[in-house]
Amino acid sequence: MENIYVLGIGGATPVFIELAEDCGYNVAGLYHYNDDKTGKIEYGYEVLGSFDDLYSSHIEGKKFLLTQGDMRIRQSVTERIIQLGGCVPTLIHPSSKISKFAEISKLGVVIGSDCIVQADSVICSNAVLRDQALVCHQSIIGEYCFVGPKALVGAHVNVESFAFIGQDALLVSGKVGTVGSYSLVGAGSVVVKKLPSNVIAAGNPARVIKEKK
């Protein structure tokens, strides 16, 4: 059983711990962004140190699972780990169904339980699909995207990097085309047309309610 270290302690941490264990890893310890929790026990595992402690240690060849919801933080931590010779593997819950014709990056993808990824879809590096998400055929989930629980990304949709698809949102096949980078689709929204980058959209049908700064 291979060791993996979990980075970041927050409300979703036990979800990621259970995912790692369900994928056959041994959680060897936790790291937090600062020193506040060093030496404490969280969810039954020792907090080994801060991120700075991690970066100053020998991490070459070790594997890490990131829990951060902020994808820009996730990006900076991932890049630092890779620079230092560590590994951020893709984790796919064994209950999920991934088409043999789908393409899943081997870097940092997290796919929760009971997800479906259909044929000819692409899941790019460091994307996160939470439980029961469905990505239909010929769709692309870009780098550092988040697809919430029970969200449905219809066929032929390109979700560009750093976009956020809220839980139970529906991106209708053949209607959306593209969700632009850094855009956010609110929970339960029904998207029926292209969304530009850096906007917040919500409703049924979804409309742009705000531009992101």
| pLDDT tens profile 50-62 | 999 999 999 999 9
Angle at 191 between CA 178 and CA 124, to 5 degrees: 40
Q: Give residue 56's pLDDT.
A: 94
pLDDT tens, 127-141? 999 999 999 999 999
At CB < 8 A and 24+ separation, what contacts does 76-80 make? Answer: 77/7, 77/51, 78/107, 78/108, 78/126, 80/55
Contacts of 26 (CB under 8 A, 6+ apart): 1, 2, 3, 4
Q: Give residue 95's pLDDT.
A: 98
pLDDT tens, 73-108? 999 999 999 999 999 999 999 999 999 999 999 999
Residue 203, beta-bridge partner list: 206
Q: Give residue 16's pLDDT.
A: 96
Residue 210, beta-bridge partner list: 200
Residue 147, beta-bridge partner list: 129, 165
pLDDT tens, 142-164? 999 999 999 999 999 999 999 99
Evaluate if residue 212 carries a pLDDT over 90.
no
For the chain, give the mean pLDDT: 96
Q: Give residue 1's pLDDT.
A: 85
Evaluate if residue 111 carries a pLDDT over 90.
yes
Contact 81, 75 (CB under 8 A): no
Q: Give residue 130's pLDDT.
A: 97
Angle at 129 between CA 145 and CA 81, to 5 degrees: 65
Q: Give residue 33's pLDDT.
A: 94
